[in-house]
């Protein structure tokens, strides 16, 4: 805490503005970074921007701390507490970085150009243009998977962006208020108060836990007439939830959900979604498939990731990508296969790791080191060329001095060129499961520790707090937690 406070004071004292930064230099190579998520931001954080003309393109002019997004759906945390404006941290870089708020609609690999579109509501006279690149980092993430199931996009809510969390928060209160409307038939009340979550991965589990907390701690108290009918159901196609956690933690989660009265429907695959019910195929213990209709008021769809169209289009341009299905296949240095100047990080890259924030952030940091090293190597090589030329024409003493400098530079060059490939170091998995309990699979403590419960919940809180982007975010999140503890959550729409 003291370190964080000192760091914040230093940041405020330093208070660098874009006017203090070096201007972009057109003689340098242009490095374009697509996206402002975990991968791209972790790259930008560590990149020496004075070595390149850095251009960032993303439709989102902020970084979002996604692990706490489920807490925003119930107002435990306010969304601005987990957002960090991209310009806020770019102004601390030594050389200026250009930022364009736009969506990359196409990457033309042959022409080395990116087509971008300003998707915002306010349009200038230019809203579509192109940006050339010498080097490109694709960190655009993934979109929500629907597997082509009809009705999901129209009627379900996703949980990826701030506006998704806001939509869910509004929808919960809409369902509650409509259920208490005068003369509402009981069957309709039950439907409206049935909150269905599809997908038993960490996103679905954390959201279900947060929602049940909201009901137990706040809604039940302030709107007692909904108490008997409010119900959360988690639907999962596989035989158990949280497949990436150990069996012991899966059992612990399922037991905790039972106590919290969250219904878990495993081996149940959703096939169709309408405005008022989902159709799901359930496999019963004797292996028979039964189709059932489940009415709902709120439907949250959390079934993982799918490839974005701009990434799919780039894959179609590169024959080396023809066997890749889940995203851009990359080599051990994160270079997109079939290219020599394009890298990919995070959920849009396929590098044999799960698509998590942890992986993306380590990939981004690795690329920053790589780019810094390459720039350093080029600098040394230039110095060497100059010295070698001078040494040829110099007097003996000067020649000896130049020779020793050359040897020194050659040693440095070998060192900078010796960067190993990307290796992911797994720090563990954490998930909040409601009623102030969390599960953790952690490998770095003593071998492999799997723990669940209240102590793990405090660990979950401190781990997430330490992972927040800035001290400002940390303070805001702490204040939100305190506010929720003292005053409860806000039940307005």
- In angstroms, what is the minimal distance from the CB of 1 to ligand NAD? 24
Three-state SS for the chain is: CHHHHHHHHHHHHHCCCHHHCECCCCCCCEEEEECCCHHHHHHHHHCCHHHCEEEEEECCCEEECHHHHHHHCCCCCCHHHHEEEHHHHHCCCCECCEEEECEEEEEECCCCEEEEECCCCCCCCCCEEEEECCEEEECCCCEECCCCCCCHHHHCECCCCHHHHHHHHHHHHHHHHHHCCCCCCHHHHHHHCEEEEECCCHHHHHHHHHHHHHHHHHHHHHCHHHCCCCEEEEECCCCCCCCCCCHHHHHHHHHHHHHCCCEEECCEEEEEECCCEEEEEEECCCCCEEEEEEECCEEEECCCEECCHHHHHHHHHCHHHCCCCCCEEECCCCEECCCCCEEECHHHEECCCCCCHHHHHHHHHHHHHHHHHHHHHHHHHHHHHHHHHHHHHCCHHHHHHHHHHHHHHHHHHHHHHCCCCCCCCCCCEEEEEECCEEEEEECCCCCCEEEEEHHHHHHHHHHHHHHCCCHHHHHHHHHHHHHHHHHCCCCCC
Rule CB under 6 A: say whether 237 interacts with ligand NAD: yes
Rule CB under 6 A: say whether 204 interacts with ligand NAD: yes
Which position's Cβ is nearest ligand NAD?
201
Residues between 410 and 429 with contacts to ligand NAD, criterion CB under 6 A: 429
| Cβ proximity to ligand NAD, 302 vs 351, nearer residue | 302
Query: Contact with ligand NAD (CB under 6 A): which of 30, 74, 76, 203?
Result: 203
Using the rule CB under 6 A, give the single segment among 10-18, 24-32, 187-195, 202-210 that binds ligand NAD: 202-210
Rule CB under 6 A: say whether 236 interacts with ligand NAD: yes
- The 131-170 site mask, x for binding ligand NAD (CB under 6 A), equals ----------------x-x---------------------
- In angstroms, what is the minimal distance from the CB of 197 to ligand NAD? 10
Rule CB under 6 A: say whether 356 interacts with ligand NAD: yes
Rule CB under 6 A: say whether 253 interacts with ligand NAD: no
- In angstroms, what is the minimal distance from the CB of 73 to ligand NAD? 13
- The 75-114 site mask, x for binding ligand NAD (CB under 6 A), equals ----------------------------------------
| Cβ proximity to ligand NAD, 151 vs 488, nearer residue | 151
Interacting residue ranges for ligand NAD, rule: CB under 6 A: 67, 147, 149, 198-204, 235-238, 243-244, 269-270, 302-305, 354-356, 429-431
């Amino acid at each position: 805490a003291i370190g964080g406070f000192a760091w914040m004071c230093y940041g405020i004292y330093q208070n660098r503005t874009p006017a203090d930064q070096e201007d972009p230099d057109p003689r340098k190579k242009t490095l374009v970074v697509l996206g402002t998520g975990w991968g791209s931001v972790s790259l930008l954080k560590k990149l020496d921007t004075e070595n390149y003309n850095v251009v960032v393109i993303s439709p989102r002019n902020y970084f979002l701390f996604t692990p706490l997004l489920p807490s925003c759906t119930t107002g435990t945390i306010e969304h601005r507490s987990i957002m960090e404006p991209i310009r806020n941290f770019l102004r601390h870089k030594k050389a200026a970085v250009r930022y364009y708020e736009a969506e990359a609609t196409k990457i033309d690999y042959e022409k080395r150009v990116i087509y971008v579109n300003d998707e915002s509501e306010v349009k200038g006279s230019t809203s579509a243009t192109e940006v050339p690149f010498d080097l490109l980092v694709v960190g655009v993430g993934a979109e929500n998977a629907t597997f082509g199931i009809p009705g999901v996009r129209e009627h379900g809510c996703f949980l990826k962006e701030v506006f998704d969390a806001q939509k869910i928060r509004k929808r919960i209160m809409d369902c509650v208020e409509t259920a208490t409307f005068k003369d509402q038939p009981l069957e309709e009340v039950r439907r409206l108060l049935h909150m269905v979550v599809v997908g038993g991965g960490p996103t679905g589990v954390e959201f279900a836990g947060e929602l049940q907390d909201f009901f137990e701690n706040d809604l039940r108290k302030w709107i007692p007439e909904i108490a008997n009918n409010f119900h959360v159901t988690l639907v999962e196609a596989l035989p158990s939830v949280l497949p990436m956690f150990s069996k012991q933690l899966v059992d612990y989660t399922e037991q905790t959900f039972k106590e919290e009265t969250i219904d878990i429907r495993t081996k149940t695959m959703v096939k169709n979604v309408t405005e008022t019910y989902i159709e799901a195929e359930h496999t019963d213990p004797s292996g028979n498939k039964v189709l059932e209709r489940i009415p709902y008021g709120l439907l949250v769809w959390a079934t993982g990731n799918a490839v974005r169209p701009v990434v799919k289009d780039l894959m179609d341009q590169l024959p080396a990508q023809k066997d890749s299905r889940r995203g851009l296949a990359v080599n051990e240095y994160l270079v997109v296969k079939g290219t020599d100047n394009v890298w990919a990080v995070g959920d849009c890259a396929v590098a044999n790791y799960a698509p998590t924030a942890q992986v993306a952030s380590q990939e981004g940091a690795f690329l920053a080191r790589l780019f810094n090293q390459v720039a350093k190597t080029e600098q040394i090589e230039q110095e060497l060329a100059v010295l070698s030329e001078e040494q040829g024409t110099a007097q003996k003493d000067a020649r000896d001095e130049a020779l020793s400098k050359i040897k020194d530079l050659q040693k440095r060059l070998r060192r900078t060129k010796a960067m190993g490939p990307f290796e992911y170091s797994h720090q563990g998995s954490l998930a909040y499961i409601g009623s102030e309990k969390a599960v953790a699979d952690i490998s770095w403590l003593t071998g492999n520790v799997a723990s669940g419960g209240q102590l793990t919940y405090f660990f979950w809180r401190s781990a997430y707090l330490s992972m927040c982007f800035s001290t400002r975010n940390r303070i805001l999140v702490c204040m939100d937690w305190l506010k929720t503890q003292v005053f409860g959550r806000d039940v307005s729409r």
